[in-house]
Amino acid sequence: MALAALGGALLVAAAGALLLGSAGISPRAVLAVLLGGKAEGIEAVVVLDLRLPRILVAVLAGGALAVAGVAFQALTRNPLADPAILGVASGAAFGVVLAQLFGLGATVVAALGLSAFAFAGAMVAAGIVYLIAATDGRLPIQTLLLTGVIVGLFFSSAITVVISVVDFNRLGGVIHWLLGNLGPISGGSLGVFGALSAVGLWLVLGRARQLNLLALGEESAIQLGVDAERLKRRIFVGASLLTSSVVAFAGPIGFVGLIVPHMLRGLLGPDNRLLIPAALLGGGVFLLLADTLARTLVAPAELSVGVITAFCGAPFFVYILRTRFRGIP
């Protein structure tokens, strides 16, 4: 039921995003293009080549980020965990910048290479955060958040170094991308993005029931029959894959993995079997709305979607911190 409602919201948001834009195309013209009537002309180009791919990227990226958020939160047993806050997104971004140094273009092979670099960066960053923050196998909230922020800063600085040293033209558009940018990508890249996200989703959703048990603590989960080490490794890989594919194709967009799961948990409860598919849909709705705002607020110019999510997310983070963790020293 809740999933159907979210699916409906996603369709409405997608329809709205198709109709809105700086080109000012009438709804009738959009419909005509979609129904296959007109495959040429400026309307067709705007709707089919610009708006539709962008909507697909937004839905995919939002869903993947929200699911990654749920996964990292279950893994760390901490509702404040998020791919950006944990530094994983910065690690992936560093991987992407490195990949661009090698001049990877827009082919499918290049898209795979880009994703591989992003994935490696995400795994390295997440591994470093885990090694620093873990004490006796536990991840205390404060240590985890601090470590994530520090590791994130480190990789951001590393990116800055690369950008400063390398000829700027070889990293075309990198600044815009670093802010989170849902520019249209090629069909091949979209396919790679979709496939990687699907694998990440499968890795996480397939263990949703076990993730519920992990909320009781690792020892209790083991005593209920869960192989906690294998579970953690699988979720770790899945969440890093989701994060890194978004970073590779849309840039490090922050806070989606924090806002969407938290709101949905308030509405639907903490059962990951419902929360993960809901986050997939809800994340899509959220990022689509944010991107539509980014496209229309200062039209005909454009904001980066990452700016919008950060403007929403930062106060939200403070809100959760103040309400949920008031008592923690």
Partner 1 sequence: MRPLVELRGVEFVYRTPQARRARPFRLSALSLEVVPGEVLGVIGPNSAGKTTVIRLLTRVLEPVAGEILLEGASLRSLTRWQLAQRVAVVPQDAPPAFPFSVEQLVLMGRYPHAPGRFFERPEDLAIAREAMAATGILELAPYALESLSGGERQRAALARALAQEPRLLILDEPTAHLDLRYQAEVAGLLRRLNRERGVTILLVSHDLNLAAELSDRLLLLAEGRCVRLGAPEEVLETSLIEAVYGCRVGIESNPKTGRPRVHMDWAGAAAAGRPE
- Is residue 43 within the footprint of partner 1 (CB under 8 A)? no
What's the rounded Cα separation, in Å, for the pair 154 and 132?
14
- Is residue 329 within the footprint of partner 1 (CB under 8 A)? no
Q: Given the rule CB under 8 A, which of 170-178, 213-221, 236-244, 247-255 is the region that contacts partner 1?
A: 213-221
What's the rounded Cα separation, in Å, for the pair 96 and 99?
5
- Binding-residue total with partner 1 (CB under 8 A): 25
CB-nearer residue toward partner 1: 103 or 225: 225
Helix locations, 102-227, DSSP H: 108-133, 141-165, 174-178, 187-205, 208-214, 218-223
Instruction: Please name the residue that has the structure tokens 């083991």.
Output: 222
CB-nearer residue toward partner 1: 168 or 202: 202
Residues 6+ apart with CB under 8 A from 131: none
| Tokens describing residue 187 | 């069909």
Q: Which helix (H) or strand (E) holds 9?
A: helix 2-19
What's the rounded Cα separation, in Å, for the pair 267 and 63?
17
Q: Given the rule CB under 8 A, which of 85-93, 153-161, 268-276, 294-302 is the region that contacts partner 1?
A: 268-276
Among 271, 299, 316, 320, binds partner 1 (CB under 8 A): 271
Query: x/- binding map, residues 63-102, to partner 1, per CB under 8 A?
Result: --------------xxx-----------------------
Which DSSP string corresponds to 72-84?
A: HHHHHT-TT--TT
- Is residue 273 within the footprint of partner 1 (CB under 8 A)? yes
- Is residue 11 within the footprint of partner 1 (CB under 8 A)? no
- Is residue 229 within the footprint of partner 1 (CB under 8 A)? no
- Is residue 134 within the footprint of partner 1 (CB under 8 A)? no
The partner residues of 135 in beta bridges, in order of sequence, read 138
Where along the sequence are the contacts to partner 1 (CB under 8 A)?
Answer: 77-79, 136, 208-210, 212-213, 215-217, 219-220, 222-227, 265, 269-271, 273
